[in-house]
A = this chain, B = another copy of it.
Amino acid sequence: MKEEYVTLAHGAGGKKTAQLIETVFRAAFENPYFTADDAAVLRVPQGELAMTTDSFIVSPAFFPGGNIGKLSICGTVNDLACMGAEPLYMTCGFIIEEGFPLEKLKKVAEAMSQTAREAGVLLVAGDTKVVGKGQADGVFINTTGIGRIMDGIRTSGALARPGDVIIVTGDVGRHGCTILLEREDFGIEADIKSDCAPLWKAVRSVLLEVPDVHVIRDATRGGVGTVLYEIAGQSGVGCELNSEAVPVDPAVRGVCGMLGLEPLYLACEGTMVMIAPGDKADRILDILHGSPHTQGARAIGKITKEEAGRVVMRTRIGALTLLPPPGGELLPRIC
C-alpha cells in the first residue's frame, strides 16, 4: 500500500475501503467464515448462547503489555468467559481518525488476530469507519462476541452466598497502573506491564472440575473493588477481604503508595474475581496455578451474611474497616 496514513476515502465505502480491508484486516483475520457479504453465516452448536459487546477507547493505544487490539479481544473473550461461555465468534468495528498511521493499524490487527487465535475465537465480520482529523482520537474498536455456555453452568453476580470464598486470578490493578504511568508524567519510573490476557482457557479448566462456581467477573473499569461492591449489591451479601492476602505487584503498590491510590480500584484486564463454595477454594487455586495467565491467583476473602451490600477489609491487626465505595471518575479511557 502506498499511503502511509488512513484517509477519509478509506472509510467512504468505495474502492479504498475495500483495499484497506483486503490489505490490513483480511490479511490478519482470514478464516473460512470471514465474509464479503453483509453478514457472516455461522453454524452454532445447540444450547444457550452468551452475547456481549464492548467498545475500546484506551489512551494511549499502545502500552507496555499490549495495545488496543489485544485489549479488544481479551475484553470480550473474558466477558464471555465470565458467563462460562466458550467464545465462538466475534465481530470488530473500527472507528479510525483520519491520519492514523497504517503501520500502527496493521500492528493492532495482528495483535487481534494473535489473541483471537490464543483464545480460540474466530473473527467473522468487521466494519471500518473513518472520521475527520480531531473527530476521534486515534482508533476506537468495538468487539462483540457470542459464545456457547458450558452445560450446567450458571454464573451471575446475584449468586454469591455466605461462606463462599473470594478468589482473584492474579495480582490486581496492573492494567490501570500501566495506563496511568503511560499517560501522566509523574516522574515515576516503574517496570509495570498491563495484565491484559485472554482467560477463557483458565476459566474452562476450573469449570470442568468445579461446575458450581457462583460468580465470575472480570475486574476491568473500576477494578476489583467496584466488582465486589456490585456483587454485594446484586447478591445482598457482604464481602470480607483479608487485606494481607490481596496480591499486588510490588511496583504497583509503590506507585499507589506515592499517588495515594487504592490498587483494588485500578483496572485489571487479565484478572478476574471468582466466587465459589468455600470448600472448593483449594481445588480452584490449584487449577488456576497451572494455567499461564493465572499463576498469581489467591483467595482474598469470603462472602458474609453480615455487612450486606458492603465490602470490608480485615487489617493486619484484625480490625475491620470499610473499603470506601466506588466514587465518580476513576481514570478515563482505561479500556
Known contacts A52-B40, A93-B144; decide if A332 and B157 are in contact (CB<8 Å): no
Q: How many angstroms between the C-alpha atoms of A39 and B44 in the bound complex?
A: 17
Q: A2 on the interface (CB 8 Å rule)?
A: no
**Stretch from A75-83, A188-196, A287-295, A306-314 that touches the partner:** A75-83
Q: How many angstroms between the C-alpha atoms of A157 and B36 in the bound complex?
A: 8
Known contacts A38-B217, A41-B48, A50-B39; decide if A55 and B93 are in contact (CB<8 Å): yes
Q: A320 on the interface (CB 8 Å rule)?
A: no
Q: A249 on the interface (CB 8 Å rule)?
A: no
CB A202 to nearest CB in B, in angstroms, measures: 16
CB A56 to nearest CB in B, in angstroms, measures: 8
Is the beta-carbon distance between B140 and A222 smaller than 8 angstroms?
no
Choose among B59, B83, B329 the residue that contacts A12 (Cβ–Cβ < 8 A): B329
Choose among B12, B82, B137, B144 the residue that contacts A37 (Cβ–Cβ < 8 A): B82
- Tell me which residues across on chain B come within 8 A of A79, comparing CB atoms: 38-39
**Stretch from A22-30, A126-134, A250-258, A278-286 that touches the partner:** A126-134
- Tell me which residues across on chain B come within 8 A of A41, comparing CB atoms: 48-50, 83, 149
Tell me the nearest residue of chain B to A93, going by C-beta.
B55
Is the beta-carbon distance between B57 and A126 smaller than 8 angstroms?
no
**Chain B proximity mask over A227-266: 1 for CB below 8 Å, otherwise 0:** 0001000100000000000000000000000000000000
Choose among B42, B46, B50, B327 the residue that contacts A50 (Cβ–Cβ < 8 A): B42
Choose among B37, B135, B147 the residue that contacts A136 (Cβ–Cβ < 8 A): B135
CB A148 to nearest CB in B, in angstroms, measures: 10
- Tell me which residues across on chain B come within 8 A of A85, comparing CB atoms: 39
Choose among B7, B46, B226 the residue that contacts A13 (Cβ–Cβ < 8 A): B226
Count, chain A residues at interface, CB 8 A: 84
Q: A218 on the interface (CB 8 Å rule)?
A: yes
Tell me the nearest residue of chain B to A142, going by C-beta.
B142
- Tell me which residues across on chain B come within 8 A of A94, comparing CB atoms: 55
Q: A323 on the interface (CB 8 Å rule)?
A: no
- Tell me which residues across on chain B come within 8 A of A54, comparing CB atoms: 93, 127
Q: A178 on the interface (CB 8 Å rule)?
A: no
Q: How many angstroms between the C-alpha atoms of A80 and B91 in the bound complex?
A: 14
Q: A220 on the interface (CB 8 Å rule)?
A: yes
Q: A11 on the interface (CB 8 Å rule)?
A: yes
Q: How many angstroms between the C-alpha atoms of A125 and B54 in the bound complex?
A: 9
Choose among B16, B46, B220 the residue that contacts A46 (Cβ–Cβ < 8 A): B46
CB A281 to nearest CB in B, in angstroms, measures: 22
Known contacts A53-B93, A144-B93; decide if A83 and B37 are in contact (CB<8 Å): yes
16 further A-B contacts with Cβ under 8 Å, apart from A7-B329, A13-B221, A57-B129, are: A12-B330, A14-B327, A16-B329, A36-B234, A39-B145, A39-B147, A40-B50, A55-B95, A55-B127, A56-B129, A57-B95, A134-B134, A135-B137, A136-B140, A142-B144, A146-B146
Q: Can you identify 19 A-B contacts, CB atoms within 8 angstroms?
A: A12-B332, A13-B222, A14-B226, A14-B326, A15-B325, A37-B83, A39-B82, A39-B83, A40-B52, A42-B50, A42-B51, A53-B92, A53-B125, A53-B127, A53-B142, A55-B95, A55-B127, A93-B144, A131-B332
